[in-house]
Amino acid sequence: MEVNMTRRKSEEIRREEILEAALKCFSKRGYHDTRMDDIIKESGLSKGAIYWYFKGKRDIFIFLIEQHLEEDKIIWERLLKEYELGPDFLIKAGLLYLKKHFEDEKLSPFFTEFIAESYRDKRIRKKLNEVYKRWIEMVKEAFDMVIKEGKMKKFDTESLSISLIALIEGLVELKTIFGEKLKYEKIWRTFAKALLEGIQKGR
């Protein structure tokens, strides 16, 4: 049992090393110009070790997208436990998501890459479609619950969820252009204040 657990842990560490190396390569060179040899060199692992876990760079790329969503879900679930569900909660969640993307130098370029590649690759586009559908569902469920509890006016929660996600992702994209000059916290808080004044009951 202990041997199996140690082996499984070792495999997880190796997979993470491959993914970290791939993320660096995709962020630096772009998906199209990254070769498997680049990922192999960056990881310091053998070619056989890389291909044991992944068939090619597209599989690694899609796995990174799935991992990205899973990490965001963990953050979302943690926030649901820590804060009372309400309009303020959605603002805090958006700010935390933006902070994650703005503080990790590799995430914004990678995010830009998988948006760009979705235009060229049907499999990547399908995966991205699944990712966003799940995100929209999670945010919509939160809005629906807030409305049910009488803390928010009735709105088309799906459209509202898509708009929120679009703003967050748009700011992440703009970071690639403006860098540190883009004051994402100020922009998000300004938007949040205007949004809350419009959707909260009794205002």
DSSP element (H, E) containing 32: none
> pLDDT at residue 3 above 50?
no
Residue that finishes a domain, picked among 15, 33, 54: 54
Average pLDDT of the residues of the chain: 83
What confidence category does residue 6 fall into, taking pLDDT thresholds of 50, 70 and 90?
very low
Highest mean pLDDT, choosing among 7-11, 68-72, 155-159, 166-170: 155-159
Does residue 124 sit in the same domain as residue 75?
yes
The predicted pLDDT at position 4 comes to 47
Question: Percentage of the chain surpassing pLDDT 90?
Answer: 21
Question: Percentage of the chain surpassing pLDDT 70?
Answer: 93
* Residue scoring higher pLDDT (85 or 16): 16
Alpha helices in the chain (DSSP H): 2-29, 36-43, 47-53, 57-82, 87-103, 107-118, 122-148, 157-178, 184-199
> pLDDT at residue 200 above 70?
no
Question: What CATH number is associated with residue 160?
Answer: 1.10.357.10
Residues paired with 152 in a beta bridge: 200
Does residue 64 sit in the same domain as residue 11?
no
**Lookup: tokens for 199:** 């959707």
* Residue scoring higher pLDDT (86 or 59): 59
Does residue 159 sit in the same domain as residue 91?
yes
Question: What CATH number is associated with residue 27?
Answer: 1.10.10.60
Does residue 47 sit in the same domain as residue 78?
no
pLDDT tens-digit series, residues 147-180: 888 888 888 999 988 988 888 888 888 887 887 7
Q: Whose structure tokens read 């945010």?
A: 139
Phi (first) and psi of residue 200, to 5 degrees: -75, 140
Query: Is the Cβ–Cβ distance between 134 and 66 less than 8 Å?
Result: no
Does residue 65 sit in the same domain as residue 144?
yes
Residue 109, C-beta contacts closer than 8 angstroms, at least 6 positions apart: 26, 27, 28, 176
Residue 158, C-beta contacts closer than 8 angstroms, at least 6 positions apart: 136, 140
pTM for the complete prediction? 0.75
**DSSP letters spanning 64-96:** HHHHHHHHHHHHHHHHHHHS-SSHHHHHHHHHH
Write the CA distances from 126 to 61, 64, 119, 135, integer angstroms.
13, 14, 10, 14
Number of domains in the chain: 2
The predicted pLDDT at position 36 comes to 94
The whole-number average pLDDT for the span 52-78 is 87
Q: Whose structure tokens read 């009372």?
A: 84
> pLDDT at residue 5 above 50?
no
The whole-number average pLDDT for the span 117-146 is 87
**Lookup: tokens for 130:** 């699944």
Does residue 34 sit in the same domain as residue 117?
no
Write the CA distances from 73 to 76, 86, 106, 154, 182, integer angstroms.
5, 18, 19, 26, 26
The whole-number average pLDDT for the span 59-81 is 84
What confidence category does residue 9 fall into, taking pLDDT thresholds of 50, 70 and 90?
very low
The whole-angstrom separation of Cα 102 and Cα 180 is 9
pLDDT tens-digit series, residues 37-51: 999 999 999 999 899
Does residue 46 sit in the same domain as residue 85?
no
Question: Which residue range forms the structural domain that includes residue 19?
Answer: 1-54
